[in-house]
Structure 1
Amino acid sequence: MPYDVPPELAGMSLAEIAQAVESRKLPPVATWNPQDSGESHMRIARDGRWYHDGGEITRPAMVRAFAGLLRRDGDGFWLVVPYQKLSIEVEDAPFVATDVRADREGGEQVLTFRINTDEFVTADAEHPVIARGSADEPAIYVVVREGLEARLDRSTWLQLAEIALAEDRTPPAVSSKGATFVLDPA
């Protein structure tokens, strides 16, 4: 079944997508090392919804703001500001990839993913597509930034599978910006 890219994504050129990524200036959470730590009482559900004290955070701007403060290290996931870091429970991945678009640039395929926080990520060597799970229950992820991943939702996984079928490789794989990603979790 052919997939129609949503108009807001279909209408963007690769240059416009790159500009959107560049214009989203995120705080330098990787460089902040606060001594004070605590518990945020927040959770990111497997489906990408954010909760605080059991209640869903329904304002997209709040979710985007918190997502910009998210960091993952050896101790887990944290919301980080210069003076404090607060632990946050993440059921699977902190983000969900809700769409993918395949383009051609200089003869190479470019895969751009839209994330549930209205961010874009282009798959490449620094932002690989990763297959986990099993052949019966695959789980496909794309690295968003600094160890934070987005799990592809079902429709995005099916879109990526269509792209892989068109590439006709064994095992199934896709390419983006010169990097190849095998979609077989074996």
Structure 2
Amino acid sequence: MVDSANFENIASYLQQFAHDRTIPPLEKWNPDYCGEMDLVIKANGEWWHEGRPIRRQKMVDLFAKILWREGDEFFLKTPVEKIKIQVEDAPLLISAVDQIEVDGKQYLQMTTQNQDVFILDADHPIYMRAFNGELRPYVKVRYELEALVQRNVFYHLVNYGELSEMSDGTCLKLRSGDIEYVLGMSE
């Protein structure tokens, strides 16, 4: 188990990125595994360290920049250490969606609660999957990390899309650029 000193060391390291939303080149870093930290990203998006919620959003935003996924395991990754953390569901939440126009085409732009901004496209698809028996919408963000689309954002997506009745139930059809996404509402 990694102690609180590592939490502070990582926080200190991340201060250099505090005013920059750029995601570090995590794919180029190959640090040694340093153990586990008592850090849990709850299914509701809250970050907890040693049994207490992290209340400083800027700290959460900094840690979100160095989130890394390998299979079903999640880590905080720096150039010198890789520390395993726990994630109950998706490590990120989609907090906003907007429809934007680029070169005459309409796109859906997503924003996470940590200020990742991207367009729904082939690299960032939206899809449905079950969590605790409930079908929920998710989006691929970066480095195989996914974000849960919050309920209020999903209502905005319904306004941007079209509800259709299919043989297996209701679905939501969304278009972003040339890609159409079909989200089934039943399993």
TM-score range, shorter chain: 0.7 to 0.9
User: Cα offset for 1:98?
Assistant: 1.1
Runs (4+) of structure 1 exceeding 3 A deviation are: 168-171
Gaps of 5+ in 1: 1-22
Tell me the amino acid that sits aligned with residue 100 of structure 1. V
Matched residue SS, 1:125: coil
Matched, 1:37 2:34: yes
- Are the aligned partners of 2:21 and 2:115 in contact in 1 as well (CA < 8 Å)? no
Of 10, 24, 27 in structure 1, the residue corresponding to residue 24 of structure 2 is 27
Matched, 1:154 2:151: yes
State TM-score, norm by structure 1. 0.79
User: Cα offset for 1:156?
Assistant: 0.6
State TM-score, norm by structure 2. 0.79
Identify, as 1 or 2, the structure richer in strand.
2
User: Cα offset for 1:63?
Assistant: 0.5
Larger Rg over CA atoms = 2
Which residue in the other structure is 1:182 paired with? 182
State how many pairs are aligned: 162
Distance 1:75 1:131 in 2: 18
Matched residue SS, 2:85: strand
User: Cα offset for 1:138?
Assistant: 2.6
Instruction: Say if 1:138 and 1:75 are closer, same or farther in 2 by CA, change over 3 A.
Output: closer
Distance 2:22 2:114 in 1: 14
Gaps of 5+ in 2: 1-19
- Are the aligned partners of 1:37 and 1:84 in contact in 2 as well (CA < 8 Å)? yes
Which residue in the other structure is 1:164 paired with? 161
Of 79, 82, 87 in structure 2, the residue corresponding to residue 85 of structure 1 is 82
Which has the bigger relative contact order, CA under 8 A and spacing at least 6? 1
Matched, 1:139 2:139: no
Of 66, 73, 84 in structure 1, the residue corresponding to residue 63 of structure 2 is 66
Tell me the amino acid that sits aligned with residue 161 of structure 1. V
Distance 1:162 1:75 in 2: 33
- Residue identity (%): 34
